[in-house]
Amino acid sequence: MVKKKVLFFRPSLAQGGADRVTATLLRRLDRARFEVSIALVSAEGPFMQDLPADVTVHRLESRRLALSVPALRRLIRRIEPDVVFSTASAANVIAVIAHGLARSRSRLVLSERSALFRGRANDAKQKIEVALKRVTYRRADVVTVVSNGLGNQLVTNLSLPRDLVRVVYNPIVEEDLADRIAEPVDHPWFAPGAVPVIVACARLVIQKDYPSLLAAFSKVRAARNVRLFILGEGALRSSLEALAQKIGIANDVCFFGFDKNPLKYMARAQILMHASNTEGLPGSLIQAMACGTPVISTDCDYGPREVISSNVDGFLVPVGDVDALAERAIRLLGDDELRATMGARARESSARFSVESSLKRYAAALEA
């Protein structure tokens, strides 16, 4: 069997879910079938250290993603990959342009991971981004999406042929799940006998709607002795910390920051809460479910309703419904049996998102 040379492309290997997924694919793709390398606009980020020694890293050394077209074009022409695979929504248009300018015959695969419209319908930058995707995405050989809902949006709003779009769920549940859960946690909030903890795990950005989550937690805190532990970094951190102070919950909220292994915290929490106003496929929900931790999420477009069967293995509530978020959390905190039952069902449901299943779908997208 002749190996296919696959060149991955993305801005960096920073702290997002797509960075984690890319690192997983680079580790786990079958080396008997694929020879993998990655082009990075900025060769930095916590997942860099997870790359195997046989993965060549091409540093494009561009100041910004938008300026990386010439460097990526030169790289494609020089190494002549069989497949160019862009794994970042923001990088896909750049990949298409560079691929075209290189006059490459390589298979072009794009991965769309985010909703096209992210709560800012009149945002001029977003309108330009969607217009560019409408023109460029049809030049790909295949566009993978992380949820059925997101696939439907691309077909409808980008006028893409249905057979161009393939749903490939993220590889979330790995074989070392138990080992990662068992890693020690030295934060005092997770010590035996400590106050119960609710975990939230998402970037501190507008789409994740942390103001609603903090408002809901304030209501939960008024009814129960509980704390909120937030995993994630982002531009809104200082404003969210100020909001927590303003509404009087700062002493019971920890903005912990990023940790490559959120599972060890999720497994020790009573609940995971998620308040996004838009998604692709929220990996933190799947991770928590794999830990057997009950989840509460907004029923936003797109993704959560493909992960959670509401009232069975988790709860879905309307976007922005602070009262519903709080009510579900109070109910779970007060009912050990419900929490255990829902957690067990969540663990079973999470098996759909195994690395093995996802790898088969990604390999098929790369090969034909």
User: What averages of pLDDT result for each successive group of 10 residues across the chain (368 residues)?
Assistant: 93 90 95 97 93 96 93 98 96 97 98 80 79 96 95 95 95 92 97 96 95 98 98 96 98 97 97 95 95 97 93 97 98 97 96 93 92
Q: Specify the pLDDT at position 315.
A: 98
Q: Specify the pLDDT at position 121.
A: 54
Q: Specify the pLDDT at position 55.
A: 97
DSSP3 helix / strand / coil % (the chain, rounded to 5): 45, 20, 35
Under CATH, to which class is 4-167 assigned? alpha beta
Are 23 and 51 in contact by the 8 Å Cβ rule? The answer is yes
Instruction: Provide DSSP, 253-269.
Output: EEEEE--S-THHHHTTS
Structure tokens at 335: 């009912």
CA 274, 44, 254, 184 torsion: positive or negative? positive
- d(CA 149, CA 316) in angstroms, rounded, equals 16
- Give the residue range(s) of CATH 3.40.50.2000 domains in the chain: 4-167, 177-353
Q: Specify the pLDDT at position 119.
A: 58
Are 57 and 37 in contact by the 8 Å Cβ rule? The answer is yes
Q: Specify the pLDDT at position 341.
A: 98
- d(CA 341, CA 3) in angstroms, rounded, equals 46
Q: Specify the pLDDT at position 17.
A: 86
Residue type, 321: D
- 3-class secondary structure, 197: strand
β-bridge pairing 56-59 and 34-40: parallel
Residue type, 192: P
Question: pTM value?
Answer: 0.89
Are 49 and 57 in contact by the 8 Å Cβ rule? The answer is no
Residues 177-353, CATH architecture:
3-Layer(aba) Sandwich (3.40)
